[in-house]
Structure 1
């Protein structure tokens, strides 16, 4: 005999698996945006993140929502970045990229080396140290996932690394706007600092646009340049693995294709195919998608999992995060006018 739950499951399966979770995230984002309009000093991004965290840790979410949450965080984030390309000219991208390339090199190389050293001192698994270093230095969970496929690390180690990076992304979302304003950073300084030192692309874009539109544009551009370093890193790791063992290394997925979409949209805007009115509309859609992404990020935060990791991976992540933030901040203060 069929139960109400069976009928509900049959009804749900008529729709795409991502739909329930996407609707949930959309509603949270609407709430976050409404609160952000009431309290603009805090902003919709922070409210959406907090609402997601509270909901995830106070209620038992049904598994039907999880595919949609993943869809928003992984897919809609990339859509939002492509749309943001329609708000920046190619000339602006080249100018910002040229001013940030040196500090990106410092962050990527120094961050990985510092994390490996900290991991050795704390007696952490080498693979875990590498993944934390890659996530801190380049682009968070995306870089960890790509490198994980190359080095074929265990799922538990990958989950530890992503959780550690995730924790410091949440902290950065709250702390960076306050620190940058306290230091009275310029738009260019603030954007480059955010783009070179916050780990995940979602947090970079969210924090940048939370501070201001101009800062968001700079931070997003810098972050995308930084993300491109996944490819040479993966090639280097693959070369080391192939030379040290008989294992083959896969570099599939190392190049972030959504960056091409961002550049195409920017090119269309630069030559006038995308008008100012369309640019404004696409930018507004992208910013709401960012609020949705941060709501989805909040729905992924489980405090009990953070507590289960233990102190040492967090300490390594803390050392790496502070190093990356400090070296980037010192650079922008003294080298960027």
Structure 2
């Protein structure tokens, strides 16, 4: 009787969506169990590939685990495409695990480091970033490269390689072939930087701090930054790491900007029940809420927590290692999902774009330092 009375009293208001029955707690748990069971095999495969890639990365530090992971994933996909049973878990590894890795990257940053690098480093970082993104747009369009691919190569070159590509991929919805090509391009020019940059530094008689700023702004991947700068000197290595980590913060405004552009292209004004459009204030709130990806909020919160000392220093090495491993898992999954025919169709033009952007960032960094008298 109590159930009947409640139903009569409340009427339809108690069931705003009669076609979507409310799940009980056991049903919800069962649904999560089914999802996990469906994704488990693919997640295990991606994790196994990442574990082997991590070992390979310790043997070849200049390559690193993430790059080894995507190369191994692509190689396995070329030999045999993953079965339909594995694809849901691999897709989860390539998206959610990627986003979680971006959150953990914030644990390595202190917001006060932006001030510690000094007033002379920020103009060089921002100037090289702006020049690279503009060149990616102009040169990429001239070469006829697809928008998402030139975006990935542009942010990967201008900010921080694999980490920036990892952050931007879910924002713009890039496909696995584009991610794989962008990663390969970034890796090639990281190797070139390791070989060329110390020679350039000695040729120009750069100071330790000047070379650290050069390496920190013009080399993409963190491991490559460390390899390049420490070859020049310990002081250069320490300064380059701070510059590189500060440069990583540019992920946030770049992703927000790209999210706004993507939202503008794909989403119309939200409708309200009964027809019509939402009031202006509600439309603005919905747009703002959808604009900010959850993992970027998490990235900022972990960086803030690290700044306030909530994350103890002894936890930093473990968190850094774990975040790199998660990126390796995600990139291994992206490699497994890669369509090699799509890569072949892309041709050599994206590689040419990567080379042009590498030169733009390098020359801009040196020129801005020279003009400011930094060395």
**TM (normalized to structure 1)?**
0.69
Q: Quickly say closer, same or farther: Cα 1:22–1:107, change in 2 above 3 A.
A: same
Moved more, 104-113 or 213-222: 213-222
Matching residue of 1:74: 95
Residue 172 of structure 1 corresponds to 186
1:20-59 deviation digits (Å, cap 9, x = unpaired):
1111111111112223334445443343233222211112
Q: Please list the CA deviations of residues 50-90 of structure 1 after superposition, one character each: whole Å capped at 9, or x if unmatched.
A: 32222111123212222222222222222222222222211
Q: Secondary structure at the match of 2:129?
A: helix
The answer to whether the aligner puts 1:98 opposite 2:135 as a matched pair is no
Alignment of 1:130-279 (within 5 A): 130-138=147-155, 163-164=177-178, 166-184=180-198, 186-195=211-220, 204=221, 218-219=243-244, 221-226=246-251, 228-232=253-257, 248=268, 253-279=290-316
Taking structure 1 as reference, are residues 190 and 21 closer, same or farther at Cα in structure 2, changes over 3 Å only? farther
Gaps of 5+ in 1: 1-11, 120-127, 149-157, 196-203
Structure number, greater radius of gyration: 2
Measured on the aligned residues, the alpha-carbon RMSD in Å equals 3.8
- Asked if residue 323 in structure 1 is aligned to residue 356 in structure 2, the reply is yes
- Unpaired segments ≥5 residues, structure 2: 1-32, 156-163, 202-210, 231-236, 271-286
Moved more, 207-216 or 67-76: 207-216
Paired with 1:205 and 1:17, the residues of 2 have a C-alpha distance of 35
TM-score by length of 2: 0.63
Match of residue 283 from structure 1: 320
Number of matched pairs: 290
**Residue 112 of structure 1: aligned partner:** 137
Distance 2:65 2:258 in 1: 35
Aligned counterparts, 1:26-65, within 5 A: 26-40=47-61, 42-65=63-86
Judged with a 3 Å threshold, the aligned counterparts in structure 2 of structure 1 residues 50 and 35 are, in CA distance, closer, same or farther, namely same
